[in-house]
Amino acid sequence: MTDLAAVKAALRTQAVETPSWAYGNSGTRFKVFAQQGIPRDPREKLDDAAKVHEFTGVAPTVALHIPWDRVDGAGGYAGLAEHAAQRGVKLGAINSNTFQDDAYRLGSICHPDAAVRRKAVDHLLECVDIMDATGSRDLKLWFADGTNYPGQDDVRERQDRLAEGLARVYERLGEQQRMLLEYKFFEPAFYTTDVPDWGTAYAHCLKLGPRAQVVVDTGHHAPGTNIEFIVATLLREGKLGGFDFNSRFYADDDLMVGAADPFQLFRIMYEVTRGGGFTSDTAFMLDQCHNIEPKIPAIIRSVMNVQEATAKALLVDREALAAAQRAEDVLGANAVVMDAYNTDVRPLLRELREEMGLDPEPMAAYARSGYAEKIVAERVGGQQAGWGA
Ligand code: PSV
Ligand code: MN
Ligand code: MN
């Protein structure tokens, strides 16, 4: 039997980090649909993120993206951290950006020209300076580097350049800081990508040291990839730094986590709980864009989707599962997992929220709060998230 009090206690400690860019206008390369009430600066993005935390109780940190969230003057980044604290949230991971400058046409830290590589590394070092000011623990690195044509560049040499650049940044990290390396199987490069998969990311992180860990962006895999196996393996090796959660139907769709395949999210969260990732330093971050739906409710929904999948994963009767596995009872073992997945956890979560002093229905409570109307009235000329800017 699963101990429901223990499940609730674990859920109380859950922390899902929301990304600043999810609050801004975004779109595809075809069109950015501007919405009303969109934040005009990083502070207003934090105001919106604080609302998500206020109604869910489990979204206490906000990831920044540099330069999209660059602040000059007015207290700088320490001032931004202070603003966050006043709203009841904290600044989370700093995401670097080495993909929106003309210099990066052939890559950033893997670029054939040392001057471009230096520019990219300088940006990453600036991100660590920002982490010092904000108190952020994690530097999240995603590289758009790669090639489009066979022969365009030396694929092995690009790995050497990558290793060298990462090592320079790793050396700069403080004792309590981490470097989280993200992989993505293709796009914007289409022939080779310099960090295409967890194996490449893992190999670099292993060489760098314990403060370099892998980020699993759920949207960055080929169809049919068993993501939970990757999660189990990385956790076993002590190298799972965190997640960028989102949903995909086709490629890097960045749709709401748990929307396309809630069963996959449950399977991932089961491996997380099984592997101790839920109680370790694994960061649970969203990496999403809300192109056609209202942003704040979509992010509330996403946080709840992660919470529901986690609750179901925690409900797996581990003793019964182990017993069935030992008895070589294939169907029995599968039934234990499916029983947990098929449990309606919404009543449990409503109860939990009430115990936490929250409204049991975050979506409805947000809608009633009047915040959406308030920001539409107050904000004119919202900022684009960064994509397609
Ligand atoms: C690009 O694919 C991407 O979605 C990566 O997942 C990063 O985490 C994110 O952009 C922000 O840079
Ligand atoms: Mn990502
Ligand atoms: Mn992505």
Q: Which ligand is nearest to the CA of 286?
A: 2
pLDDT at site 75: 83
For the full predicted model, state whether its pTM sits above 0.95.
yes
| Cα 252 to averaged position of ligand 3 atoms, centre (Å) | 5
pLDDT at site 221: 98
- Per-chain residues with Cβ under 5 A from ion ligand 3: 252
Q: Is 229 helix (H, G, I), strand (E, B) or coil?
A: helix
pLDDT at site 74: 65
| Cα 281 to averaged position of ligand 1 atoms, centre (Å) | 21
Judge whether 238 and 250 are in contact, CB under 8 Å. no
The string of pLDDT tens digits covering residues 307-318 is: 999 999 999 999
- Write the residue with the smallest CA distance to atom 8 of ligand 1: 142
Q: What's the ipTM?
A: 0.97
| Cα 244 to averaged position of ligand 1 atoms, centre (Å) | 9
pLDDT of 362 strictly over 70 = yes
N-terminal to C-terminal alpha carbon distance within the chain: 52
Average pLDDT over residues 199-225: 98
Average pLDDT over residues 275-296: 95
CA distance 34 to 223: 31
Nearest atom of ligand 1 to the alpha carbon of 96: 12
pLDDT at site 387: 60
**Pairing assessment for the beta strands 192-193 and 146-147 based on DSSP bridges:** antiparallel
pLDDT of 35 strictly over 60 = yes
Cα–Cα distances in Å, from 300 out to 36, 108, 173, 228, 368? 18, 35, 33, 24, 14
- Of 69-83, 122-136, 169-183, 366-380, the range with the lowest mean pLDDT is 69-83
| Cα 368 to averaged position of ligand 1 atoms, centre (Å) | 33
Confidence of residue 380 (pLDDT cuts 50, 70, 90): confident
Pocket-testing residue among 217, 243, 285, 288, ligand 1, by greatest number of atoms within 8 A of Cβ: 217
Domains recognised in the chain with CATH numbers: 4-378 (3.20.20.150)
Q: Which ligand is nearest to the CA of 67?
A: 1
Confidence of residue 2 (pLDDT cuts 50, 70, 90): confident
Share of the chain above pLDDT 90, in %: 95
- Write the residue with the smallest CA distance to atom 7 of ligand 1: 142
The string of pLDDT tens digits covering residues 134-172 is: 999 999 999 999 999 999 999 999 999 999 999 999 999
Nearest atom of ligand 1 to the alpha carbon of 21: 11
For the chain, how are helix, strand and coil distributed in percent, rounded to 5? 50, 15, 40
The string of pLDDT tens digits covering residues 109-138 is: 999 999 999 999 999 999 999 999 999 999
Average pLDDT over residues 35-56: 97
Spell out the residues 6+ positions from residue 236 whose beta carbon is closer than 8 angstroms to its own. 275
